Structure 1
Amino acid sequence: MQRVRYIPQDDPSCGWFHTSKKRDVKPSLTGDINAKWVIVGAGFTGLSIARRLAEHYPQDEIVLVEAQEVGFGPAGRNAGFAIDLPHDIGAEDYIGDLEIAGKTLKLNVLGQTILKDLVEKYQIDCQMSASGKYQAAVSSSGLKVLEAYQKGLDRMRQPYEVIDGEDLPYHLGTSFYKKALFTPGTILLQPSALVKGVADTLPDNVTLYENTAITGFQYGKKITLEHASGLITADQMILANNAFGMHFGYLKNSMLPVFLYASLTRELTVSELDLLGGKSIWGVIPADPFGSTVRKTADNRILIRNSFSFNPTGQPNAKKLESFIKRHEESFKRRFPILEDVNFEFNWSGSLGLSQNHKGFFGQLASNIYGAICCNGLGVTRGTATGALIADFIAGQNHELIPFLLETSGPNKLPMEPFLSMGVNARLWWGQRQAGLES
């Protein structure tokens, strides 16, 4: 039995988790079980795999294991943007190759469609809103990014609206930004509420075990996974645990567990909402990748998300979180000086599984092991879509995006330590420093 070195242990104060509806948590696994299928990780990808796999194999028992509570981990800690458009930060116009961009758009829209259908079918209360997104800039470098992205959107023939600074307060309630590109295809949502709702509507032949961390594994004709009080023996395994997949014997040293930090205010009062103005729901992503993501939510809170750290173990760093709260306060005050009495109610961190070449893994790792991991920060849409498609692939179903995913799959190998941490930390430090007012 080989050991899993690190398991997910996120910090306790995620605002999305605590402000979403409480649910009956599924019991943790006790003792030994046998199953045809085992899926590791119940985020957007794992839940999507389980649902589609259950449709393909309705007579099979499918086991889905989650190390923490559903909605408490990374799937419930993102900024709540289900983005349709590609955003290739390695390309001059943020679009790059048109064929790849077009298929990426189809993949993201597929993820959106799956989630919209589930929310409508099961009436999941997750504040889902087709509000679009604003990509906004305040610095000269940020404005250049918007100009480049605008040209890329023109090449893709995608709709957008250019909004100048004097008009932005009518949209966002702040005069902080100088310009924004509004694109209508993004969906805003409460991520923890959504993932909880998806988990509670799984097919009958899927058994979800929460708070069940896998601590060891053994591979062969059968898959054997160890947990705290027993073993899971399965014919087939699918990894959907993002950067933690590196600890399961495959894709070693290929993903970067990078943490982003967020703060969520208390609910604004009626008078504060009147003072703020702007639309009732909106979301801003920064022109500079190291800038601040900002949202006004359906329950009248404001989210600030910025600051990065590289945590090689994939586990949170309490000191980093504490140090970044002040940066969030400063970012909030710059944007909303009229809300001087509004404080943050929640502060948290959440991990991204990133690769150096911006590629995830999709496909077969061994004769009875598959993976759909490393979403590079697009877990809501890409994770949902690739989860469904890996199940189709396993079942021998055709889909135009499966060859695309197989052909473009594979994070590259990373440098060894200590050079990896030195390089990543230097890049994060420099990027955040260069972001300036965008942060």
Structure 2
Amino acid sequence: MFKISATPKDDAMCGWYHTAPARQAKPAHAGEKHTRWTVLGAGFTGLAAARQLALNFPNDEVVLIDAQEVGFGTSGRNAGFAIDLPHDIGADDYIGDIDIARTTLKLNRLGQTMLHTLVKEHGIDCHMRPSGKYQAAIEDRGIAVLEAYRRGLDKLGEPYEVIAGKDLPRHIGTAFYRQALFTPGTMLLQPSALVKGLADSLPSNVKLYENTAITEVEYGDKVVLKHKQGRIVTDKLILANNAFGARFGFLRHTVLPMYLYASLSRPLTGAEQAQLGGKDFWGVIPADPYGSTVRRTHDNRILMRNSFSFNPRQQSRPDCLERFAHNHRQSFERRFPMLPEVGFDYTWSGSLALTQNHKGFFGQLAPNVYGALFCNGLGVTRGTVTGALLADLIAGKRNELIDFLVADSGPNTLPPEPFLSIGVNATLWWGQRKAGLES
């Protein structure tokens, strides 16, 4: 048996989870179960993989396992942007190789289409809207990033609008930013509500077990998954648990378990909404990667998301929550001086599975074991599409997008400790310091 050294344990105050429609969690697994298919991780990737496996093999039961309650973990903790455009931060123009960029665009838009179709078909109450996104800057470095990205979008032939700072208040209320680049293809949504809705609309041949943390695994002709209340024996295992996939004996020393922090305000009063102005629903991402993501939500709250920590043990850190809530307050006050009495109802952390070369893994890991892992911050669209396409690959299907994913080189190997932690923490410190007012 291979012992799993860490399991998900997220903090309790995720605003998206608590403001999403309530649902009844499925019971944890107990006893012994034999099955053909098991998907580990009921986030965007795992939900998509289980759904597509069930459609590809309608006479088989597909077991889907999550260590926590659906909607409580990583997929319910992001900022709620379903982004279509590629954004290669390693390229001068943020687009890079044009052929790779065009295929990435197809992947992301297929993920969007899958989600939009399911939301409409099942009436999932997640406030999904094709609102576009603003990428905004205040510092000179940020303005340069917008200019570089604009050149990349020209090369890709994608539409955008450059919005001067003086015109931004009628869009997002605040006059804080000097410039923004608006791109129309992003969908904004309530992520925990979406994940809950996807789980409750799975095909009838998917069996979901929540609050079932796998502690040991044995690989062979059958894969044996052990937990505190029993075990599951499966013919095929699909790892869709993002950064935790590296705890299962594969791709070790390739993923950086980063944590990003967010706060969600109380709802604005009618007078405060009038004081803010602008549109009633929008999202801003920072020009600087270490800057703040900001949203105005369907229920007139303000989301503020910034500040990183490197958590090699993949556990939430209460000391960071307290410290970074103060950062959120400062960032909020800089952007919204007209809302001095608006406080935060929730502050939480969420995991990001980042790799050094910004590449994930897709395909077969070992006999009877497959994986779609490491979304590098694009879990809503990329997780959805790679989960579904992995199920198609397993079913023997091939197409341009599957071939593209299979041919990818995958994540790089990281430096050993203690050099890794020293380097990552130094990079985070300098990046957040250099971000200046963008943070």
> Same-fold call, TM > 0.5?
yes
Q: Does 1:80 align with 2:77?
A: no
Q: Does 1:33 align with 2:19?
A: no
Match of 1:222 in 2: 222
Write the distance in 2 (CA, Å) between the matches of 1:152 and 1:250. 35
Match of 2:115 in 1: 115
Write the distance in 1 (CA, Å) between the matches of 2:166 and 2:378. 31
Give the 5 Å matches for 1:312-331: 312-331=312-331
- Give the counterpart letter for 1:7 in structure 2: T
Match of 2:311 in 1: 311
Match of 2:67 in 1: 67
Match of 1:134 in 2: 134
- Offset at residue 360 of structure 1 (A): 0.2
Write the distance in 1 (CA, Å) between the matches of 2:99 and 2:136. 26
- Offset at residue 409 of structure 1 (A): 4.1
- Give the counterpart letter for 1:341 in structure 2: E
Write the distance in 2 (CA, Å) between the matches of 1:177 and 1:125. 32
Which string of whole-angstrom CA distances, capped at 9 and with x for unpartnered residues, describes residues 338-383 of structure 1?
Answer: 0000000000000000100110000001121000000000000000
Give the 5 Å matches for 1:7-406: 7-406=7-406
- Offset at residue 245 of structure 1 (A): 0.7
- Offset at residue 17 of structure 1 (A): 0.1
Match of 1:407 in 2: 407
Write the distance in 1 (CA, Å) between the matches of 2:50 and 2:313. 27
Write the distance in 1 (CA, Å) between the matches of 2:326 and 2:214. 36
Match of 2:4 in 1: 4
- SS for the counterpart of 1:331 is helix
Paired residues of 2:220 and 2:367 also in contact (CA < 8 A):
no
Paired residues of 2:356 and 2:414 also in contact (CA < 8 A):
yes
- SS for the counterpart of 2:162 is strand
- Give the counterpart letter for 1:41 in structure 2: G
- Give the counterpart letter for 2:286 in structure 1: P
- Offset at residue 228 of structure 1 (A): 1.0
Q: Which shows bigger deviation, 305-314 or 403-412?
A: 403-412
Paired residues of 2:176 and 2:334 also in contact (CA < 8 A):
yes
Write the distance in 2 (CA, Å) between the matches of 1:341 and 1:86. 38
Write the distance in 2 (CA, Å) between the matches of 1:115 and 1:378. 14
- Give the counterpart letter for 2:353 in structure 1: G
- Give the counterpart letter for 2:434 in structure 1: Q
Write the distance in 2 (CA, Å) between the matches of 1:314 and 1:92. 32
CA-atom RMSD in angstroms: 0.5
Match of 1:419 in 2: 419
Write the distance in 1 (CA, Å) between the matches of 2:259 and 2:403. 31
Which string of whole-angstrom CA distances, capped at 9 and with x for unpartnered residues, describes residues 125-176 of structure 1?
Answer: 0010110000000011100000000000000010000100000000000000
Write the distance in 2 (CA, Å) between the matches of 1:71 and 1:357. 28
Write the distance in 2 (CA, Å) between the matches of 1:399 and 1:430. 42
Paired residues of 1:135 and 1:284 also in contact (CA < 8 A):
yes
Which string of whole-angstrom CA distances, capped at 9 and with x for unpartnered residues, describes residues 2-32 of structure 1?
Answer: 2100000000000000000000110000111
Which string of whole-angstrom CA distances, capped at 9 and with x for unpartnered residues, describes residues 79-98 of structure 1?
Answer: 00000000000000100000
- Offset at residue 118 of structure 1 (A): 0.3
- SS for the counterpart of 1:32 is strand
Paired residues of 1:166 and 1:175 also in contact (CA < 8 A):
yes
Write the distance in 2 (CA, Å) between the matches of 1:246 and 1:141. 35
Paired residues of 1:143 and 1:179 also in contact (CA < 8 A):
yes
Percent identity reads 64
Q: Does 1:438 align with 2:435?
A: no
Write the distance in 1 (CA, Å) between the matches of 2:241 and 2:276. 40
- SS for the counterpart of 1:421 is helix
Write the distance in 1 (CA, Å) between the matches of 2:235 and 2:361. 21
Write the distance in 2 (CA, Å) between the matches of 1:431 and 1:259. 15
Paired residues of 1:282 and 1:296 also in contact (CA < 8 A):
yes
- Give the counterpart letter for 2:206 in structure 1: V
Stretches of structure 1 that go unaligned for 5 or more consecutive residues are none
- Offset at residue 398 of structure 1 (A): 2.0
Write the distance in 2 (CA, Å) between the matches of 1:166 and 1:229. 60
